[in-house]
Homo-oligomer: A and B are copies of this chain.
Amino acid sequence: MGGRITTDLIRGHTDTIILNILRQGDSYGYEIYKTIIALSGQQYELKEATLYSAFRRLEHDDLIASYWGDESQGGRRKYYRITEKGRENYEQNRKDWRFAKDILDKLIEGGLENVEK
């Protein structure tokens, strides 16, 4: 059996997760919500409240931009598009994640044998 993903394990990664999806094409709230579940192999659900507050934060910081879709054939959809600044931010976040992963491995599983105290 595997483990669980708690709130704090995901914290700080939501922006990066959203940017990763948007850098591969424009999308809207509900679709992004579903995509995250699919990407995680049904193992993680980012709550809608979290998602939409992240959209506001990202838009405020000019990492994404939004526009209303064509509403002629049905319900309104607000689409999000990643900005150039957002792409740069994503690249940095990815580096940060790889870096943090290595450090966390040492901190969580590392032995103290070769660490001077």
Point out residues on A near B: beta carbons under 8 Å.
1-13, 16-17, 20-21, 24-25, 31, 34-36, 38-41, 43-44, 92-101, 103-104, 106-112, 115-117
Contact = CB atoms under 8 A, between A and B. Distances in A.
A10 B104 CA distance: 8
Nearest to A1: B95
Given A24-B112, A35-B112, A112-B35, A40 B5 contact: no
A104, A116, A117: which has the most chain B beta carbons within 10 Å? A104
Nearest to A4: B96
A60 to B, nearest CB: 17
B13 A12 contact: no
Contacts of A2: 95, 98-99
A108 B16 contact: yes
A12 B8 CA distance: 5
B3 A92 contact: yes
Contact of A9 (B17, B100, B116): B100
Nearest to A113: B24
